[in-house]
Amino acid sequence: MRPRAPLVIVSALLLAAAPRAQDPGAQVRSYVEAHQEEIVRELVNLLSIPNVASDHANILRNAEHLKGMLAKRGFSADLLETTGNPLVYGDLRVPGATRTLLFYAHYDGQAVNPPAWNQPDPFKPVVREGRLYARSAADDKAPIEMICAALDALSANGLKPTSNIRVILDGEEEAGSPSLVPAIAKYRDKLSADMMLIFDGPIHTSNRPTIAFGARGILTGTLTVYGPKAGVHSGNYGNWIPNPALRLAHLLSSMKDDQGKVLVAGFYDGLQPLTPEEEQLVAAVPDDAERMLRAFGVASPEVAGRSLQQGFQIPTLNIRGLASAHVGPGARTIIPDRAVAEIDIRLVAETRAAAMRDKVNAHIVAQGYHLVEANPDEAARAKYSHIASMAWDPSATEAFRTSPMEPHSRELVAALTRVYGEAPVQIRTLGGTVPIAPFIDALRFPAALVPTVNFDNNQHEENENLRLTHLFDGIVTVAAVLRM
């Protein structure tokens, strides 16, 4: 990693707005217009190789094909063996470059259920009304084609990237990338860079070029409050045997107030108020709150005056499911034996999963509960008036965030601003969780997501599609990054 320059925000923001001589936008656009058919054909060929992560034979066909695509662009390309599917790796040294960028994309895709698609075979791509329909058209083979085409466009115009470029293509992302983090130890040298750029995911719903500097993590768990061993008659024992559903309601209410504030001690520890510059970035995200609320049928957000993006900067405590005995036709007049709440906590960079688990556990204990690991035994039942279990899923995903104000971040923003004539949407923290986060976390260098595909791409569903205009714009975006 090269030493970082001191942060001078005002000049960086000015810089972002000023087009530079090396703006490759016009030349790349001309190239793409002249080569649309060739670009789409190369992507169609790639999409024609089935890529479900468990389909080992086809995964290897993809990997070999991708190695060839990279080699064609001058990469020193190779397959890196892992404990699972191979990583496709390419290294492109640029004479005089002082910066190395690591590009990440993935070549595996979600499973398919062909009868649900409007085409016979999700691996026989179809173009319809300006969209290319196929599994992985958007998620995540399009960005691979964008990288290749952007290099072709630069080359055709006698331009080179301004950074050394390393490409790592994951073959297990949709299966949770189990081999990615373990591969770091083996290939640390190949993976080292000044910044990683993740080419995955859809652009902002405003349809404007987008960069995301972080994403929330996630931690899930199951909270159970125990009542009588089995449901008891609500008449014969009502007002005497305690009701676990009411107790769960009180416990959940004690965790988060009805004004949207989590009351678990230390839940927001470590969070700093945003700097004025960060607040400005967050406020500038063009979310159409009114349209979203109308679409969801909600009159007002959880906290008056807090925007969607402001909410993303802090962790959540969300009840994603509730159950106790039965509702509807199966309801019976009983005091239930237990009440269950499924919880998810969206983490931010300052709040790590292990600490959050401990804080929630401590909160439950502080409410007078004896915490058990599984169903309480007779001895526990005889001893403790309030019994609960809090079973955390061990596979939490941590959050990540690279400061949007650090030099690499500003250079990236400046590069996109130059080709598009306006600053991209800059997301300080994505609300959701990206599977690549543990990899980013383990590599310990700056990272940003550069999404390129249309947000209505039916990702993970039937009829996944890529708008061709987004494919072509994405090439411009990648070229800008190559020249940042």
- Return the residues of window 274-303 that contact a copy of itself according to CB under 8 A: 294-303
Min dist. Cβ of residue 337 to a copy of itself (A): 9
Of 188 and 326, nearer to a copy of itself (C-beta) is 326
Binding letters toward a copy of itself, positions 414-453, x by CB under 8 A? ----------------xxxx--------------------
Among 48, 157, 307, 403, binds a copy of itself (CB under 8 A): 307
* Beta strand pairing call for 131-133 and 465-467: antiparallel
Four-residue CA torsion sign, 395, 63, 449, 128: negative
What 3-state DSSP class applies to 79? strand
* Beta strand pairing call for 210-212 and 214-215: unpaired
How far is CA 328 from its chain centroid? Answer: 37
- Number of chain positions touching a copy of itself (CB under 8 A): 83
* Residues ≥6 apart with Cβ < 8 Å to 404: 213, 278, 281, 413, 426, 428
Of 321 and 421, nearer to a copy of itself (C-beta) is 321
Q: Looking at this protein, which amino acid is placed at residue 139? A: D
* Beta strand pairing call for 195-198 and 100-106: parallel
Of 100 and 433, nearer to a copy of itself (C-beta) is 433
* Residues ≥6 apart with Cβ < 8 Å to 331: 325
Number of other CB atoms surrounding residue 314 within 10 Å? 19
Among 29, 65, 208, 256, binds a copy of itself (CB under 8 A): 256
Of 344 and 462, nearer to a copy of itself (C-beta) is 344
Residues 207-236 binding a copy of itself (CB under 8 A) are 216, 218, 220, 222, 227-230, 232-236
DSSP H/E element including 195: strand 195-198
Min dist. Cβ of residue 275 to a copy of itself (A): 20
Min dist. Cβ of residue 461 to a copy of itself (A): 14
Among 18, 158, 273, 320, binds a copy of itself (CB under 8 A): 320
Query: What does the buried/exposed string (b/e) look like for 402-432 if buried means 16 or more CB atoms within 10 Å of the residue's CB?
Result: bbbbbbbbbbbbbbbbbbbeebbbbbbbbee
Min dist. Cβ of residue 37 to a copy of itself (A): 36
The helix-helix angle for 353-366 and 244-255 (nearest 10°) equals 130
Of 74 and 311, nearer to a copy of itself (C-beta) is 311
Min dist. Cβ of residue 59 to a copy of itself (A): 27
Of 35 and 346, nearer to a copy of itself (C-beta) is 346
Of 266 and 431, nearer to a copy of itself (C-beta) is 431
Using CA atoms, how far residue 370 sits from 92, 229, 245, 361, 388, in Å, is 58, 16, 17, 10, 6
Binding letters toward a copy of itself, positions 135-164, x by CB under 8 A? ------------------------------
Residues 361-390 binding a copy of itself (CB under 8 A) are 376, 378, 381-385
What 3-state DSSP class applies to 135? coil
Min dist. Cβ of residue 469 to a copy of itself (A): 24
Residues 257-276 binding a copy of itself (CB under 8 A) are 257-258, 260
Tokens 């607040």 found at: 279
Of 154 and 335, nearer to a copy of itself (C-beta) is 335
Residues 52-111 binding a copy of itself (CB under 8 A) are none
Q: Which long-range contacts (CB under 8 A, 24 or more apart) does 188-193 make?
A: 190/80, 190/89, 190/91, 190/166, 191/102, 191/166, 191/443, 192/1, 192/100, 192/102, 192/445, 193/100, 193/101, 193/102, 193/166, 193/445
Min dist. Cβ of residue 305 to a copy of itself (A): 12
Among 2, 93, 291, 332, binds a copy of itself (CB under 8 A): 332
Using CA atoms, how far residue 271 sits from 303, 351, 482, in Å, is 18, 8, 34
Of 48 and 222, nearer to a copy of itself (C-beta) is 222
Among 106, 135, 190, 346, binds a copy of itself (CB under 8 A): 346
Of 33 and 290, nearer to a copy of itself (C-beta) is 290
Min dist. Cβ of residue 362 to a copy of itself (A): 19
Min dist. Cβ of residue 69 to a copy of itself (A): 32
Four-residue CA torsion sign, 12, 18, 23, 27: positive
Using CB under 8 A as the binding rule, whether residue 186 contacts a copy of itself is answered as: no
Of 272 and 300, nearer to a copy of itself (C-beta) is 300
From the list 86-94, 145-153, 156-164, 241-249, the region that binds a copy of itself by CB under 8 A is: 241-249
Min dist. Cβ of residue 390 to a copy of itself (A): 14
Q: 400, 406, 246: which is closest to 336 by C-alpha?
A: 246
Min dist. Cβ of residue 262 to a copy of itself (A): 10
Min dist. Cβ of residue 230 to a copy of itself (A): 8
Q: Are 314 and 268 in contact, with CB atoms under 8 Å apart?
A: yes
Query: What does the buried/exposed string (b/e) look like for 446-479 if buried means 16 or more CB atoms within 10 Å of the residue's CB?
Result: bbbbbbbbbbebbbeebbbbbbbebbbbbbbbbb
